[in-house]
Amino acid sequence: MIKHPRGPFAAGDQVQLTDPKGRQHRLVLAPGRSFHTHRGALAHDDLIGRPEGSLVTSAGGTPYLAFRPLLADYSISMVRGAAVVYPKDAAQIVGLADIFPGARVVEAGAGSGALSCWLLRAVGEHGSVTSFERRSDFAEIAAANVEQYFGGPHPAWRLMVGELDAAGITGVDRVVLDMLAPWDHAAAAAAMLMPGGLVCCYVATVTQLARTVGVLREQGNFAEPAAWETLQRGWHVDGLAVRPEHRMVGHTGFLVTARRLADGVVAPPRRRRPSKGAEAAAAEAAGAEAAAAAVLVRGEHESSGRNGMEAEDREG
Ligand SMILES: C[S@@+](CC[C@H](N)C(=O)[O-])C[C@H]1O[C@@H](n2cnc3c(N)ncnc32)[C@H](O)[C@@H]1O
């Protein structure tokens, strides 16, 4: 059974120490061991048995506040293979993709396992999360991160090393795709999802966003997709100096969600008339596609483009 650690610190707990400058360190408590900072050592035994939110002082006299890390803290400081889903997006996925206790979720790719932790926490022990990861080195990192977070194997998690494969998977409530080309798996998502289920795609670039929405629409077994992004701007609040922070978590990615229609249902045509600009752009895109096809027929090479490169970077 997974037990979320609470109460006084105990051996085996993860602890996050924050110094007066806001610098953070993470350690796992072990009796008799010491944590060494450039401000002197700190005995783990000084923490074991103390309540969360305690202040401990290193041998050099620096005070540290001690808490168990939040999942948001853990996920951005975890060992990484692939880039992780940022907490602001993970929170949106759990909330707006409606991941509920007991849900059956399929995820790809697992990457470093950050989103897997959020999904597992939301579905709980009576749900299921099946995560596909095609790179075995990333799968190993994901497995270690998820085990470390939950203090052991999570009973609701199944990690599959390989390409996302819908074979034999049906009756799923949610499919969450964080990968370079989610449109390649839109049909697999529809095959796995039960009517009313939801697919959620997290993509890094505008071109990926357009292609994902386009394919979900064309496929015909999803209701109209919703697409959005979030920008998170912290505020500096100090007396009369109340202003936005100079730095913010700006672009991370876009989210797309769409609900699975019942088999045989054709979504009613959208009532919104596309703007003139959209029509012109669609005609232009159709023309460009025809021109590109002609180029390919002549045997020239397709260019990969910069956006593709950037998205690859996130994968790696
Ligand atoms: C950006 S990372 C996912 C990060 C992950 N959500 C996290 O929070 O740690 C994308 C991952 O998808 C994997 N991937 C891409 N296409 C895949 C596919 N068709 N099947 C399985 N994994 C895939 C890549 O190997 C990569 O590890």
The number of the ligand 1 atom at minimal distance from the alpha carbon of 162 is 21
pLDDT score for 267: 85
pLDDT score for 1: 81
Query: What DSSP string describes the chain?
Result: ------SS--TT-EEEEE-TT--EEEEE--TT-EEEETTEEEEGGGTTTSPTTEEEE-TTS-EEEEEPPPHHHHHHHS--SSPPPPHHHHHHHHHHTT--TT-EEEEE--TTSHHHHHHHHHH-TTSEEEEEES-HHHHHHHHHHHHHHHTS--TTEEEEESS---TT--SEEEEEEESS-GGGGHHHHHHHEEEEEEEEEEESSHHHHHHHHHHHHHHSSBPPPEEE---B--EEEETTEEEE-S--B----EEEEEEBPPTT--PPPP-SPPPHHHHHHHHHHHHHHHHHHHHHHTTPPPP--HHHHHHHHHH-
pLDDT score for 300: 31
Q: What is the dotted CATH code of the domain comprising 73-259?
A: 3.40.50.150
- The model carries a pTM of 0.87
How many Å lie between the centroid of ligand 1 and the Cα of residue 314? 9
pLDDT score for 311: 40
Average pLDDT along the chain, 316 residues, taken 10 residues at a time: 90 94 93 90 96 95 96 94 96 98 98 98 98 98 96 96 96 98 98 98 98 97 97 96 94 97 89 67 59 40 30 44
Atom 7 of ligand 1, nearest CA residue: 84
Whether the CB of 107 sits within 6 Å of ligand 1: no
Whether the CB of 197 sits within 6 Å of ligand 1: no
pLDDT score for 63: 94
Q: Report pLDDT digits (tens) over 64-110.
A: 999 999 999 999 999 999 999 999 999 999 999 999 999 999 999 99
pLDDT score for 284: 67
14-69 has which fold?
Answer: Vcp-like ATPase; Chain A, domain 2 (3.10.330)
Whether the CB of 180 sits within 6 Å of ligand 1: yes
The domain ranges of the chain are: 14-69, 73-259
Same fold, 14-69 and 73-259: no
The number of the ligand 1 atom at minimal distance from the alpha carbon of 145 is 9
pLDDT score for 298: 37
